[in-house]
């Protein structure tokens, strides 16, 4: 799956230069991809890792298709508009979904 490779590349960038995630608290973002299941993006001690499946308890879950997740990872998806049009569903803390978009933008 192409989007997993994109996510791993972004995580490598973050871990190589954690300047923009130092202030990020330890937390778990979950992404439920309509076509291929769940991924978790785990922030801990100014580092990030990707976990497949539902291992940790997430603070926010994003539900979308792979195409839109790819756009999100490239900062080409407006999360607010995607939410308003139904192409992105959010369970949990909506503010964290926007925070994830800010973090992604910082690494573009």
1: confidence class by pLDDT, cuts 50, 70, 90: low
More confident residue, 25 or 11: 11
Q: How far apart are the first and last CA of the chain?
A: 21
pLDDT in tens, 56-103: 999 999 999 999 999 999 999 988 899 999 999 999 998 998 899 999
For the domain covering 2-106, report its CATH number.
3.30.1050.10
Domain boundaries, the chain: 2-106
For residue 91, give the DSSP letter: E
Q: Is 58 exposed, middle or buried (0-12, 13-18, 19+ CB in 10 A)?
A: buried
């Amino acid at each position: 799956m192409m989007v997993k490779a994109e996510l791993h590349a972004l995580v490598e960038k973050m871990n190589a230069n954690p300047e923009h995630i130092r202030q990020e608290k330890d937390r778990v973002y979950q992404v439920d991809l309509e076509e291929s299941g769940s991924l978790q993006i785990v922030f801990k001690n100014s580092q990030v890792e990707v976990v497949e499946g539902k291992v940790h308890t997430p603070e926010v879950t994003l539900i979308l298709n792979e195409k839109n997740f790819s756009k999100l990872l490239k900062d080409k998806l407006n999360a607010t508009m995607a939410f308003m049009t139904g192409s992105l569903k959010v369970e949990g803390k909506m503010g964290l979904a926007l925070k994830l978009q800010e973090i992604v933008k910082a690494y573009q």
